[in-house]
Chains A and B, each alone.
Chain A
């Protein structure tokens, strides 16, 4: 199946309109990247990488992939459902973005209503549509061991772990090591080597530091 998938990845949909087609392709690749990231991430909910742990893992326990917000190509992630990661099936869950959940006044809610559900996810892809609300979402999830993947330029600074970007018409990615450490996830060196950029400090870290200081100050 992966072969077919790769083939689809590079040569599908020649009949679509050029703009649509480019977008479709891009998102298909991005979905594939998200899927593959899971293979190079260990620790936390993904469990240790060694074979023993994998054997102990419950094969019925699904890998939950959450998609937050509106993706430009809606079906790209749906196709991940049913694939296997570390012998566990993948299931895709969609969540409305905070941007969509604005009330009549145009106010964004402080907390996502389905936050508990979101917290059960292993991976959360945050669509570009959520760009304005990043700072409301990410801090709530930073210590839950969720691999957050984003698609906006300042995602890492906002506290996301992996960000996808397009460089020279190629999809690439960058990694926030601090965020990964917070989420207790270990990213394999081979993946790190491929990253276009790695970030060791981010905004949230500073905020936390500040928070700690204030917190310590408070009592």
Chain B
């Protein structure tokens, strides 16, 4: 900023100066240019002359001094050679004849001062002896000093030094400058006088031209012409100016003409514009009106929305009270005298009035009835149309049938009927009856009425659903109660079975022991038949004991949950086979690898035990075979125990899994009839199912499934889980 300020000032000054020069009159400009040129040329010449003078003077001085030095040196040779300082001094004194020389010194070759001369009135300062001979003169303190060697026979034997003052030279230079300045002044004056005269040759025609141009532009009179003075450039300019004036004159005339035309056009246009403006104003008025209508309509819609919102709040109340509020609200919102709700009855054969609200009286009534037989066109219309908006009932055919009987006595002039539909099924209608001058039903009013009808339909549906929900809740409660009872009685039964079985065991053991005693103590007193009967007795006792054990087992399933553990069936199943110790003619084979499961080991063992035991027990062939295998069936493992026994008829497939059911006579096979029920119970407890596939005489296959995802976990997964 500090730098730019002076720069700006400088610029402004420059600008002012240049504008001043521009505004100067032409003749002054000419004089100034000539003067400037003259003075510059003269000043340059003077400067060069003075410089030349100065150089020449100096050169002359030095040359003179050099010549004197040469002479003096020559004259001093012998004095130095023969060592005569007095003679040398005499020689130097001759230098005093030259006014410029103020001092002269002679030095021997060793640099010693040999002889000296100083002009009177100048201080006799001895300069230091010259070490190196300076060929060029040295200028200092208004003096010039020059050293010349003294040479004798080609040998330098000493140095002469001359010192001269420059004062005379300066004086001469001064005189020259004064003269030159005088010449400069005189030349300038002469140049001014000549140029002020001669500039008129160029400036006067131009000034004349300028004056004329100025007069023309002031008076706007293009009829003036310039008098041509010569045939030079100015003359050319004047001719061109005259031509230009002529053109301007013509153009001016044309311009005036065009201006008049333009004004006429403007007037024309103004009229057009005024008309357009009026049209526009009309349009604006119309638009404003439309806008007002729109605003009213919007307000109405907002009103309707508010009313609907209020109605929505009553959605939880029951149907009659809802209908009451709805009719009242609708009548008030639409400003309709009578609003009624009619429902279809008796397979759409008649319409029954459920609610009818009168706005001016504030009263309600119900019970009126309209039969389809009396007015079929009306029924057909409400069945098919969305809304019946009747602006004037006198011109409508659909209400013709009850116009005289119903509408006209009440003074109804306009009417809107909106069907109430639920899932496209007609439930009834909402009826808006207007009294007074005929009225046009607006689209938004129709929309509102449709919304009201929808709400009523929704309310009807809600009511229906509520009724159903209540019934369902009742049924559920009944069911829960039954389940509770059933569970209780089941539990009691189980407990009873357990307790009974348990309590039966002790007397049974007593009977068995007594039978043994009798057999051993009275063996000799019994005949063969008696002993046979005793054996039978013991057999029955054993069977009963097994039966009781089976029942105990069965009832324990589900009572106590034992530990979940990883069970490798490839180990467990061979152990079970070994425990059963099958007779020699029966071969038990595991076909393929078996999976590893996580479950209650004892119970899973029980399943395999019972199935394999059954297969062995019922095998009646001389050579038998039992096969065990496992396949993957989706989310389940499917196990199969296949025997080559007698097979089972299909009608027994269900029965064999029921308690105490055996197919063979009890006496033939020591069977309790409780093995398969236990299997079924365990498998179902594990989330699987059990069934049998068989044909009589072709053996039987017992199959059961166990779910993979819970009970079956691969060893790897277990390991990973353990680590985590």
- B577 at the A interface (CB under 8 A): no
* Chain A positions within 8 Å of B74 at CB level: 190
Q: For chain B, residues 110 to 154, give those with C-beta under 8 angstroms from any C-beta of chain A.
A: 110, 152-154
* Chain A positions within 8 Å of B109 at CB level: 2-3, 6
B153 x A194 contact (CB < 8 A): no
- B234 at the A interface (CB under 8 A): no
Determine, out of A20-28, A33-41, A126-134, A176-184, the stretch whose residues face the partner at the interface: A33-41
* Majority secondary structure, B binding face: mixed
* Chain B positions within 8 Å of A36 at CB level: 81-82
B residues contacting the other copy or chain, number (CB 8 A) = 17
- A86 at the B interface (CB under 8 A): yes
Given A2-B157, A33-B82, A194-B84: A39 and B75 within 8 A (CB)? no
- A188 at the B interface (CB under 8 A): yes
**Nearest-neighbor residue (CB-CB) of B84 within chain A:** A194
Given A2-B157, A193-B87, A194-B87: A188 and B78 within 8 A (CB)? yes
Contact for B78 among A2, A170, A191, CB less than 8 A: A191
* Chain B positions within 8 Å of A40 at CB level: 78, 81
**Nearest-neighbor residue (CB-CB) of B109 within chain A:** A3
A191–B77 Cα gap in the complex (Å)?
Answer: 9
A33–B78 Cα gap in the complex (Å)?
Answer: 11
Task: Tell me how far the C-beta of A68 lies from the nearest C-beta in chain B, rounded to whole angstroms.
Answer: 23
- B79 at the A interface (CB under 8 A): yes
A85 x B153 contact (CB < 8 A): yes
Task: Tell me how far the C-beta of A163 lies from the nearest C-beta in chain B, rounded to whole angstroms.
Answer: 14
* Chain A positions within 8 Å of B79 at CB level: 190, 194
Task: Tell me how far the C-beta of B114 lies from the nearest C-beta in chain A, rounded to whole angstroms.
Answer: 12
* Chain A positions within 8 Å of B84 at CB level: 194
A39 x B154 contact (CB < 8 A): no
Contact for B75 among A33, A173, A190, CB less than 8 A: A190
* Chain A positions within 8 Å of B384 at CB level: none
A104–B153 Cα gap in the complex (Å)?
Answer: 48
Task: Tell me how far the C-beta of A153 lies from the nearest C-beta in chain B, rounded to whole angstroms.
Answer: 20
- A144 at the B interface (CB under 8 A): no
- B316 at the A interface (CB under 8 A): no
- B155 at the A interface (CB under 8 A): yes
A6–B112 Cα gap in the complex (Å)?
Answer: 13
Contact mask for chain B residues 71-100; partner A; CB cutoff 8 A; 1 contact, 0 none: 000110111011110010000000000000
B82 x A39 contact (CB < 8 A): no
Q: For chain B, residues 612 to 656, give those with C-beta under 8 angstroms from any C-beta of chain A.
A: none
A39–B77 Cα gap in the complex (Å)?
Answer: 10
Contact mask for chain A residues 194-214; partner B; CB cutoff 8 A; 1 contact, 0 none: 100000000000000000000
Q: For chain B, residues 50 to 82, give those with C-beta under 8 angstroms from any C-beta of chain A.
A: 74-75, 77-79, 81-82
**Nearest-neighbor residue (CB-CB) of B79 within chain A:** A194
A185–B152 Cα gap in the complex (Å)?
Answer: 19
B157 x A190 contact (CB < 8 A): no
Closest 5 CB pairs of A and B: A190-B78, A39-B153, A36-B81, A191-B78, A194-B84
18 A-B pairs whose Cβ atoms sit less than 8 Å apart in the complex: A6-B109, A6-B110, A33-B82, A36-B82, A40-B78, A40-B81, A84-B153, A86-B153, A87-B154, A170-B83, A188-B78, A190-B77, A190-B79, A191-B82, A193-B78, A194-B78, A194-B79, A194-B84
Query: Chain B interface (Cβ within 8 Å of chain A)?
Result: 74-75, 77-79, 81-84, 87, 109-110, 152-155, 157
